[in-house]
Structures are given as C-alpha cells and as structure tokens.
Amino acid sequence: MHNYKNAIAELLKKHIDAMTYEEILELVEHPKNTSMGDFAFPCFKLSKAFRKAPNMIAESLKEEIVIPEFIDQIEAVSGFLNFKVNSTHFAKVVIEEVMSKKDKYGSSDVGEGKKTIIEYSSVNIAKPFHMGHIRSTMIGESLHRIYKFLGYETVAINHLGDYGTQFGKLIVAYKLWGDKEVIEKDPIPELLKIYVKFHQEAENNPSLEDEARSWFTKLENNDPEAVELWTLFKEMSLKVFNRVYEKLGVTFDSYAGESFYSDKMPMILKELRDKNIVVKSEGAEIVDLEKYGIPPALITKKDGSSLYLTRDLAAAKYRKDFYDFDKNIYVVGSAQKLHFQQWIKIIELMGYEWHKDCIHVDFGMVALEAGSLSTRKGNVVFLEDVLDKAVEQTLEIINEKNPDLTNKEEVAKDIGIGAVVFQELYTTRNKDYTFSLEKTLSFEGETGPYVQYTHARACSVLRKVSFDPQSNIDYSLLTDEVSKDVVRLLAKFNEIVVLAHKNYEPHTVARYAVELAQNFNHFYHDNAILVDDEALKNARLALVYSTKVVLENALKLVCLKAPEQM
C-alpha cells in the first residue's frame, strides 16, 4: 500500500541529515488525539543536532517542506510536526488495499525467513483439562496464528505433562483401585478420583509413596508393565483433550511432551557436569544461582531421578538443535516465573547465546465466580463443560431471537465457544481475572458476540444489494467524521497485529476488533447505506465490505469464527 508512514519519513528525510531514514520512521507516530492529525513527528531528539528548541525545529521544518498531494496540512505544535492526510486519498488507498488483499489484509512479511516455536497448552496427562488451561491454550493459539499471519515459520508444540513421579503414583493407584472399563467410559474424572485417593491413603500409609517412586523408576527404565499402563493413561487422556482442542480450533505441530526428553536426559546431565555447572548437595545435584539472586535449581534428586526443570533444559537444547529456532516462546502461567528464570539462566551458563531467544510469556490466574480452580481437591471446573454450557445457552438465545436461522447448531458453537475464547483474550495477559459466563455471552459490551454480531450485520447489508469491489468508487464521499474514523481504524490493522506479536499480547487484536465494531456501528447508525444516490451507496458499501473483511481477519487471529448470520 501507499504507506503513509514511510512516505512521511521519506519526506522528512530530505530535510533531516542528523537521522537515518529508519530512525525517522521509527519516530513517526499517530497522535493520541486524532484532531491533531493522522501522523506526528516529535522533534525532541533533533534538539542537539539542530541546536534549536524542538518547537523551533518543528516550525522550520513546516516552512521547508513542500506539501505533497496526499497531505492536506502540516502543522507545528509544541515540538511536534503534525500531518493531516488527505481524506479522499486516504480512504482510497486503504479501502482499495483491503478489497484487493481480502483475507491477507493486515498480514505482512516481517517474519519472513524466521522460525518461531510457540509452546502452549501443555496440559497434564490424566489430569483435568480445566478452566485455568484456557489461558495458555488460547493465548498460545492466538500467537501462533498472529505469527503465521506475519510470515513467520511457526512450530506449535504441546509440551504434554506426561512424565514425572506422579505417574508412579497413578500406576500404584490404578493397580490398587482402578477399573479399566469404568475409566475408559470417562477417563479423566476416574483417573483423578484414584489419584486423589492415593494422596489420601498415602497420608496414613507412607509406604505407598515409596512404591510410587519405584514404579516411576521402572517407567524410566522401560519396564513393560509400567510403559503399558502409562501408554494407556496417555491415550485415554489425549482422546479427551483432542476433543476439546477441536472445539476450540486449536492445533499443534508436535505433541512432544516431557517423556519425549527422557532419553535425552543423560546427555544434558553429562554436559552440565562436564561444564562444572552442577554441584552435589546432600546427594542431589543442584545449580547454584545465588550470584544472580535466584534460588538454587534442583537438577537430579537423591534417588537419581530426573526433574521437570532438567527436562526443560533438555527440551530447549533439543529444540535449538532440531528446529534451529529464532525464537522459542513458552506460554505458561506466572506461577512458574522462577522455574523459567532458573533454567534460562542455566542455558546461559552453559554458554548458549540463544538463551536470549527463550521467552516466557506469562499470565495471571483465572478464577471462576464460584471460587478458584484447583486439581488436587477435586472441585475442578472442566473447560469442556464451560464450552458446552456456553453453546447450550447461546442456542437458547438464538431460539428466542432468531428461531428460523439455518445452521443454528453450528452458529451456536461459533458464538458460544467464541465468546469464552474472546473473553479470555480480551483480558490483559498478566492480569488475574474472574470469569463470568453471563458477561461473556452478552451481545453487548466488549464481547466476542458483539464483534461477531457486527460482522454479521455487515454481511446482511451486503446480502441485500450487489456490491462490486471492482466498480468505480468516489472516495470523496467517505470523508465525513464517522466514515473517516472507520477508515483510520482499517488502516491501523497491520500495525495492531505487529504490536500484538511484539508484546505477545493477543488482547491488542481483541480490543482493536471491538473498537472497529463500535466505530462501524456509529457509521451504520449515522449513515443510511442503501440510499438512492448510486455513487453514495456504492462508496458506503465499499466501507461496509472492507469492515466485514477486517473484522473477519481480526476474529480469526483471536481464534473466533465469523458466521455470516446469527
């Protein structure tokens, strides 16, 4: 597209020797207050080179610059140079680009040639896929989509929690109280039941813990019975998990979980020992990180068995060797902040520069209105139940409001599940929040259904008349304030996506979608679209069409479908 930002930077460059084009480009911004203009260039950094106060610099630049066709006005205000873009030119450039790129609009090639690994969800085998898991799962999937959209090669990994001493416990519990038939019918709650029972019984009978440890050792040594039971737990769990992923539209390239690294453990341990990074401490091995203000990291236990952290070291090393990533992202809750600090530091101590490319994208807790979520106590809320309930309630709403809608069930899924997902991604990542199904399903306010509804509204207009994006459009008819607001937002989409990926914040896109929907609804409210004046009708339809395209693209990036009718 005719990129205004670039064009303005080029224009400025002709008058500024003290900065490179790139440096200038970096500084060109959107004024917070749109009445100040569409773009602004702060002159503060030039003070030294120009030996002048910023407002003086702005004034003299204003005098020197010959205003090009795409700009209406340049003004110097308090050290800023403000640019007002010609509205007709702007509308034409933006809308033509949306109409030609369609589902690619907003994408770019900033990631070309770079490989990003995104690890997310990483649920634990034989444990509930609970409401708390929605965070990692959806933030991760959204980042996955955003990175792809920006041209990165991506690898989506589900680092399954399928290893560790808890599997020794589960084997013991299964052998004592497990009933295969009962468990197969409803695996997770039944496995959870016996797992909880193990903890209760072990309080009075500590020998159970010893037994569990020895079964885990057997598993590590490939004992056939241990492996068979472990495989059974894993297969049964994955069947259930995949059902949830399908409902959410979440996909992975790899399910290499913790167990995948069990045979890579000796190598990493040898390296740590050879490089003198580990020290013995009471029979175990640790890495002393005191110098860095970080508590020591446990690498092997007294009984020699490996640990979660050690598996993460092996996993990171493997990923670097196998994928040769440029960036290795982990979407994991803030409760594990220390864990990530520790092992990433250890990677650095091992002499690997790429420790810098390992990034912990953390997030706060999600609580349900009824209370917080916990696995051990058994009062856990399954994510799938929340999704099903959302779909069920949405269907009720549809039956009430639009009973003749075709595809009701499908649409109810798109809206109900989308609502839950949207609510999740609308929240700032590192904030704790309380989930409310009622608020989530509302068609008003800052919700998924609201955005989807706005999209469907645009679709419905476009169904009523034929609109040809190739036709001649008089863009000067889109220069009223509400139309201009919509155009300005459409233009911003790519920047929003780039920002979201830079900060690992899908909520940037979610918020943008709401803002675009709100502004479109103002436009829709203020401007009759299906008017007699053909030229006016056509211009407004072009805006409706473009908004529909961009809303759909934005929804897709935050993992929502965009039904045409609802």
Q: Which residues are catalytic?
A: 127, 130, 133
* Euclidean distance between CA atoms 11 and 141, whole angstroms: 40
Site mask for ligand ARG (CB under 6 A), range 494-533, x = bound: ----------------------------------------
- In angstroms, give the least distance from the CB of 23 to ligand ARG: 38
Q: Which is nearer to ligand ARG, 101 or 345 (CB)?
A: 345
Binding residues for ligand ARG, how many (CB under 6 A)? 8
**Is the separation of the CB atoms in 563 and 414 below 8 Å?**
yes
> In terms of DSSP bridges, do strands 366-368 and 433-435 run parallel, antiparallel, or are they unpaired?
parallel
* Residues 159-188, interacting with ligand ARG (CB under 6 A): 159, 161
Q: Which is nearer to ligand ARG, 205 or 379 (CB)?
A: 379
Q: Mapping DSSP to helix (H, G, I), strand (E, B) and coil, where does residue 95 land?
A: helix
* Euclidean distance between CA atoms 207 and 406, whole angstroms: 61
- In angstroms, give the least distance from the CB of 348 to ligand ARG: 17
Structure token pair of residue 37 = 């203009």
Q: Which is nearer to ligand ARG, 299 or 332 (CB)?
A: 332
* Residues 87-146, interacting with ligand ARG (CB under 6 A): 119, 122, 124
- Determine, following the binding rule CB under 6 A, whether residue 285 of this chain makes contact with ligand ARG: no
* Euclidean distance between CA atoms 395 and 400, whole angstroms: 9
Within 10 angstroms of residue 563's Cβ, the number of other Cβ atoms is 21
- Helices 507-526, 448-464: crossing angle, 10 deg rounding: 40
Q: Which is nearer to ligand ARG, 332 or 456 (CB)?
A: 332
Site mask for ligand ARG (CB under 6 A), range 311-350, x = bound: -x-----------------x-x------------------
* Residues 24-83, interacting with ligand ARG (CB under 6 A): none
* Euclidean distance between CA atoms 130 and 386, whole angstroms: 9
- In angstroms, give the least distance from the CB of 190 to ligand ARG: 20
329 φ/ψ angles, rounded to the nearest 5 degrees:
-100, 135
Buried b (16+ CB within 10 A) or exposed e, 168-186: bbbbbbbeeebeeeebeee
Nearest residue (beta carbon) to ligand ARG: 161
* Residues 220-259, interacting with ligand ARG (CB under 6 A): none
- Tell me how long the chain is: 566
Q: Which is nearer to ligand ARG, 319 or 548 (CB)?
A: 319
* Euclidean distance between CA atoms 443 and 521, whole angstroms: 13
What are the Cα distances from residue 212, in Å, to 174, 176, 194? 11, 12, 13
Q: Which is nearer to ligand ARG, 329 or 391 (CB)?
A: 329
* Chain centre distance of CA 67: 41
- In angstroms, give the least distance from the CB of 13 to ligand ARG: 45
Residues that bind ligand ARG (CB under 6 A): 119, 122, 124, 159, 161, 312, 330, 332
